[in-house]
Structure formats: C-alpha cells, structure tokens
Structure 1
C-alpha cells in the first residue's frame, strides 16, 4: 500500500466570481493569491484520522506525524489501525489521548459498530451530529472532514484559529466576535468552503 491518496478541492472561476461580488475585499485577495490547490483526502476514514491528528497542533507538526504514521503503521484503514496497539500509534508522535481515540474509533468502525460511510449521504449538520458521537471528535474535526474529504461547499469553521486570523487580517481587525464572524460567514454563503480555503492562505501569508 502506498501513501494515502489525495486530490485537490475542486472549485470553478464562476464560484470565485460569485464570492468576489459578494465580498470585494475577499475578491481582491483571491485575485492576488490566484488559484489555490488545497489538498484533500477523498477516503473518509483516512480523512477522519488526519483531522484528529491535526487537532490543536500546527499544520507542520501534523504533517510530520501523518507521514510517520503511514511509514510505520502502513495502510491508514480501520482494520489496520485497530490491529495496532495504542503504544504503537502513540509512538508516531501523538498524545496518549489522541492515540486512544484513534484506536477506539478504528475498532468501532472495523467492527461495524459505527458506519462511517453513511455520512456521505447526510446533510452538513447531520454529518456533524453523527461524527461528534465518536469519542474525541468535536465540531471542528467534523467540519474539517466536510471540507477536506467531502468537498462540501459551505463550511466556515468558527473553531479554526487560522480561519479567524485570516478574517482579522483580511478586514484589518484586532479581534473578532462571533457576531462579526457570522456576518462574514453569511456573506460567503453558499460558498463558504472556498472562502475558507483562501482565508487559511491569508492567515499564513
């Protein structure tokens, strides 16, 4: 088995044009940055584990752990990870809490107790409700799966520090309230995910 398959989040110039009309400030930033190729993971299980790995750590640290997991543990599948010990998972550079979560989730999916593939047919809200039943999966993790696996169009995560920082940089704010955030999120709708892809980039620029 090679590394986890990835692809780019697909969006069109028409969608960029729509957002530019809805929010000219975002539009000029998008024009300046050009087309952004956001790497996503089409496999639901691998994308879920990738999101758990990325909780509360930098993207760079997450990438290191993710690569190590693939090299040491092999295939990122529920059956394979359920077969590993918690210590083997943790040795890839994870906290014991995350290693426990990953092992428990892998076992639950491998045994058929949790039917992960069902989320493909659910609405965004239902996906979040279903995934947050899993121990160690909160709203942010579920929202990352909506964007970084399912390519859902309208996700802007309040729980994502980089998204909030991107908004603050874009609009010249020193801080951002939930109310301001919701105003922008509403403005981007129904293409919030594409706005998010650019806000991440702005945040790190």
Structure 2
C-alpha cells in the first residue's frame, strides 16, 4: 500500500482511478495538476485537526501558535499533566480539552498506535481513531489522508466533497455521507486520491457555480 505523499504518487493514483472509472476524467481535466495536501503526522498533527474544527482559519492558526509554544513539541504526557486553565489559555474549548486529553490517554496507553496507523487498512485505522472519545469520522479520515497520506481514506461527511460530487457527476441533489460513501466504494483502494481530486474540483468550481456550504468544520480540509 503506497502512501500518497508526493505529486508523483498522487498522479500515478489518479491515472489508475481514471482508467478504472472514466467518469472521473472530466474532473481531472478541469483541475490540472494536483498536489497532495500534507500536515505533520503524529500526536501534534491530530491535535491540529481537532483545533481547526468549527473555527475560522485565523482562529485555528492563533490557537495552534499558542498551543505549540506552550507545548513544544505537543506530546501526550505534558498534555495530561497540564491544567485545564493551561489549555483554555491556548484557546481550547471544554470539548476540545476533553478530546485532546482522550487522545493523549489513548496514545500513552497503547490503544491508539499513531505510528502504526499508516500500515493498516483504512477501515481499521479509521475505527481505531473513532474509538477515542471526541474523535469523529471526519477527523479520523482527514488525519489518515492529510497527515499520513493514506491512499484509501475518504471523509464522506465533508460537505465540499459532497458538493464536488454533485457538480462533477451532475447529480440533482448533494449526496449525504452514506450516499457519497457508497459512491466511493468503486474507487477502493484509492479513495484517498479520489477525495483529493474532488477537493481540487470543488476549489476550481466554487467560484463559478457553487454556493459554499456553511459547515466550516466540514470545509476545512477542502477550502
């Protein structure tokens, strides 16, 4: 299972996808060359995704700056030792404090082997991440795709992916998570490459025809 972590590996994956599903060819032609979006892996990378949920890009950047300065580098032990006041001072909400503490406990206890997730099948890695209280399906798949370059991670709950599928395939309505996940089954084991293509298609089309969906938590990956 080859990670999608360079423009070359992504291009190879997209070639295979278009050959298997020619319906993707117009989308690829519309976006031109696509580069994978990468974030640092590990505990800090997962915390950064949690930080970015349901806040503006500027707010997420400010929180991350304070957080990474206070915990340099972010690691499970110091997070568990820190007080709630320390984390609130960084800009964390009560819910995000609970989530990063749960991630830290799972990582230290061996229930969340962050270093091994990239070697697992996407569904297995996804299930492990979602077993941590506060980590939802979107967070899990975005971590697998952006931080690890997992070739088969697919955040079906992302509204930008849903809107791109509506536009790209001429659907009457935007597919929901279950419908998009069912559609993506034909792209296994390269659903991650398909997600990257759909995000790129969303970016090039939303200025013309798309009224951007309003759930910023689900648009953070593709916006």
Q: TM-score with structure 1 length normalisation?
A: 0.78
Is 1:151 the counterpart of 2:146? The answer is: no
Could you list the runs of 5+ residues in structure 1 that have no partner in the other structure? 1-7
1:124 deviates by: 2.0
Describe the SS at the equivalent of 1:155. coil
The answer (yes or no) to whether the contact 2:102–2:134 under 8 Å persists in 1 is no
> Is the alpha carbon distance of 1:65 and 1:169 closer, same or farther for their aligned partners in structure 2, counting shifts above 3 Å?
farther
- 1:68-79 alignment runs, 5 A limit: 68-79=66-77
Q: Which residue of 2 aligns with 1:4?
A: none
Distance 1:191 1:12 in 2: 10
Residue 193 of structure 1 aligns with which residue?
Answer: 192
2:42 aligns with 44
Tell me if 1:114 matches 2:108: no
Shift of 1:163: 1.5
Q: What secondary structure sits across from 2:145 in the alignment?
A: helix
Count of aligned positions: 197
Instruction: Write the mapping of 1:76-87 to structure 2, written as runs, cut at 5 A.
Output: 76-87=74-85
Cα contact 2:10–2:193 (8 A) shared by 1: no
Distance in 2, matches of 1:37 and 1:59, equals: 21
Does structure 1 residue 9 correspond to structure 2 residue 5?
yes
Instruction: Please say if residues 86 and 100 of structure 1, whose CA atoms lie closer than 8 Å, have aligned partners that are also in contact.
Output: no
Match of 2:137 in 1: 139
The change in CA–CA distance for 1:176 and 1:114 in structure 2 (over 3 A counts) is closer
Match of 2:27 among 26, 29, 33: 29
Map 1:60-71; keep pairs closer than 5 Å: 61-71=59-69
Cα deviation, 1:131-186, whole Å, max 9, x if unaligned, reads 22211112222212221223221222222222112212322333224564245302
CA distance in 2, matches of 1:35, 1:167: 19
Higher relative contact order, structure no. (Cα contacts within 8 Å, ≥ 6 residues apart): 2
Q: How has the CA–CA distance of structure 1 residues 82 and 189 changed in structure 2, closer, same or farther, with 3 Å as cutoff?
A: same
Query: 1:76 Cα deviation (Å)?
Result: 1.7
State whether residues 163 and 203 of structure 1, in contact with CA within 8 Å, keep that contact through their aligned partners in structure 2. yes
**Partner SS for 1:91:** helix
Report the TM-score, using the length of structure 2 for normalisation: 0.73
